[in-house]
Amino acid sequence: MDFLQIVWEPSSDGIRLFGDFKIHYYSLMWMLAFVLGYQIMKKIYKNEEQSEKKLESLFMYSVLGIMIGARLGHVIFYQSELFREDFFSVFLPFKFSGGFEFTGFRGLASHGATIGMITSMYIYNKKVLKKSVLWILDRVVIACALGGIFIRIGNFFNSEIIGKAAAEGLPWAVVFKAVDNIPRHPGQLYEALGYVFVFLIVYSTYWRTKKGLQEGYLFGLFLLLLMTVRVFVEQFKIAQVDGREDWILGLNTGQVLSIPFIMIGIYFMFFYKIKTQ
């Protein structure tokens, strides 16, 4: 019996503007993530009676923190040889080794993005907001959850972070022609779908329950849900670093890095107590 085979073979990986310069679909997904995230935070800031000036500063700190953290996280956790082989490509959207080429930031890690987001929100709170760092983290994670959906769709466009070979006859298996001719699990779309539920749960918790008033709860809920999705989906994805498929106790790099975040999430949901004088 023949099953429908989904073949992913886009004719282009981006929109060419002039010469060799083009905007990759992956970059477009990041742009869309930030634009929609801004709209969500605008609604939240209005609800919290915060000024538009503080919102504009939040956008700047978020973009810088998340992008720098995501890039450094990818290089440190998955491609550390770039520090030695093509140092400037770590910080710039260009390839210098083997010939100059505009590449965009195609290697970005969610764990690094999370660390970058937390760091930038700490600085933003200290310099601009002057409330509690958990106050802003509880709210900005709603936008981050939505953004994660589009980032994984961008990975699908790029035929990267691909899944393992699928069982014969799996109707939604995808052949990534840029990689090989093997029907594979669309791990990027599994993860994107998981993030849809993360966003809906965190968003609804903020607007429809009193848990949004419990400092640290939404931040913890976000970490717990997001990284649980990551641990689950990783079993369908091929290892991003050779030799780390079964790195520690049968877990790969992505799963190992997710566990501390899950523990932090549980702490803020159930054990964290606001310090009082």
Mean pLDDT in consecutive groups of 10 residues from the start of the chain, 277 residues: 68 60 75 94 95 93 89 78 73 68 65 89 94 95 95 89 89 91 94 97 96 94 96 87 62 86 96 70
Closest to 235 in 3D by CA, of 129, 163, 154 = 163
> String of b and e for 173-188 (b: at least 16 CB within 10 Å)?
bbbbeeeeeebbbbbb
Eight-class DSSP state of 215: T
pLDDT at 93: 65
Distance CA 66, CA 157 (A): 21
pLDDT at 257: 87
pLDDT at 68: 87
pLDDT at 277: 41
Digit-coded pLDDT (tens) for 32-74: 999 999 999 999 999 999 999 999 999 999 999 988 888 887 7
Alpha-helical segments (H) within the chain: 25-47, 52-78, 82-85, 110-124, 133-157, 187-208, 217-234, 253-270
pLDDT at 113: 86
* Dmax (CA) of the chain: 71
251 three-class SS = strand
